[in-house]
Amino acid sequence: MEQKNNIYTKLFTSAFYISAFAFGGGYVIIPLMKKKLVDDLQWIEEDEMLNITAIAQSSPGAVAVNAAILLGYRVAGVSGAFVTILGTVLPPLITLSVISIFYTAFRNNTVVNAVLKGMQAGVAAVIADVVLNTGRNVLKQKDKVSSVIMVGAFIAAFFLKINVIYIILVCGYIGAVKTLILMEKIQKGSDS
Amino acid sequence: MIFLKLFWSFFQVGMFSIGGGMAAIPLIENQVVNLHHWLTLTEFTGLITIAEMTPGPIAVNAATFVGIRIAGIPGAIIATVGCILPSCIIVSLLAWVYFKFKEITVIQGVLSCLRPAIVALIASAGLSIFTLAVWGEGGFSTNPQKINFVSVLLFTAAIFILRKWKPHPVYVMLGSGIIGGAIYLLI
């Protein structure tokens, strides 16, 4: 029993610590989790970590939360998953609660307002940078369907103001149909 | 009622933000600014700035920020639970499929078509933040007097620095906040 409690405590503190100090979301958190759980604690095999990463990135939602669920479950079952979710979610919950209260209090302060206005240009640039990098990767694939989807989705969202959920559903559907057709072709190819 | 609305909104954010990182931004904007008017575009941009500068997933940060403003601490907790519940369900299902059949080809095929769409949606959300930075709440205008040239300058400098030296985005946002803030206070 004591040993079990020990595992929960370790899971919680690992998840809490990683979540509290990892700036930059899931892509930073996964390597940190690997270091802690695979290299330091040796609770999980390297191969399994790769599988867990693949599933975490294929599922909707925050990659960090997805990875935390899988790792917690793998180490200590459902209660383990619960413990790691709590550890991952608590730091942003506390930080943002405090900031939200300060934001409401200082929203009308001239200095705070000026700095926030200055940051708007910065955050627009950061998003533009990500779009340029990922957009270039999409175009590099030289896949016509991908390029058409990218342009079509942009027009639908920005100019036609179509709800983004519908855009995601339609593109996911196209992806599923495309993959199934591709798989059928491969199967036919291997039959003949 | 407001709790139910918060829960359902962030459940949808969690459910449809696929691909990690900034993928949640267009969904949060959709729910919080366009559908429910819980935040103005300026407040939403402030939220994204804060979320980018603090650790933790953007969606969880946003759920807390919006939840606490709309319905206090219970609102923050309910919105956060809503945001991670789809993850809990789908990750479990996917893990089961994965370990049973040892492949997720179809899901990865779906993702390959979603990726370009997500890029486009992030671009669209980014463009509305850019429009806000340059033209303010009034939106795009051809009148040159409406253009905020400080923002244009900061944006150009920031994107140049990001492309050339690839620093951590937090420094770029802090830098543009400090320099921009100083200019706005002086003029």
**Residues of chain A contacting B48 with CB distance shorter than 8 Å:** 123
- In this structure, what token pair is assigned to residue B118? 């997500």
In tens, the pLDDT along B84-117 reads 999 999 998 888 887 777 666 778 788 888 889 9
- In this structure, what token pair is assigned to residue A161? 């103001």
How far, in Å, CA of B43 to CA of A29, rounded?
27
Q: Is the pLDDT of residue A192 over 60?
A: no
pLDDT, position A16: 92
Stated pTM of the model: 0.89
Looking at residue B57, its amino acid is P
Mean of the per-residue pLDDT values for chain A? 88
Nearest CA to CA, how far is A158 from chain B (Å)? 5
Nearest CA to CA, how far is B39 from chain A (Å)? 12
Average pLDDT over residues A20-29: 70
Nearest to A59 among B45, B68, B91 (CB): B91
pLDDT, position B102: 66
Least confident piece of the model among A127-131, B40-44, B104-108: B104-108
What are the sequence ranges of the domains in chain B? 2-147
- Which 54-93 residues of chain B touch chain A by CB within 8 A? 54-61, 64-65, 68-69, 73, 76-77, 80, 83-84, 86-88, 90-92
* Cβ atoms within 10 Å, residue A49: 21
Nearest CA to CA, how far is A9 from chain B (Å)? 20
Question: With pLDDT > 90 as the criterion, what percentage of chain B qualifies?
Answer: 70
Name the nearest CA neighbour of B110 among A175, A182, A57, A180: A175
Q: Which of B6, B10, B73, B88 to mutate to test the interface with A (most CBs of A within 10 A)?
A: B88
Name the nearest CA neighbour of A54 among A65, A66, A43, A42: A66
**Residues of chain A contacting B95 with CB distance shorter than 8 Å:** 55, 70, 73
Average pLDDT over residues A171-176: 90
Taking an 8 Å cut-off on Cβ atoms, the answer to whether A120 and B158 are in contact is no
**Residues of chain A contacting B19 with CB distance shorter than 8 Å:** 57
SS3 string, A80-130, reads HHHHHHHHHHHHHHHHHHHHHHHHHHHCCCHHHHHHHHHHHHHHHHHHHHH
Average pLDDT over residues B11-28: 90
User: Which ipTM score applies to this complex?
Assistant: 0.91
Taking an 8 Å cut-off on Cβ atoms, the answer to whether A103 and B50 are in contact is yes
In tens, the pLDDT along A76-107 reads 889 999 999 999 999 999 999 999 989 888 88
In tens, the pLDDT along B120-152 reads 999 999 999 999 999 998 888 888 888 999 999
Taking an 8 Å cut-off on Cβ atoms, the answer to whether B158 and A126 are in contact is yes
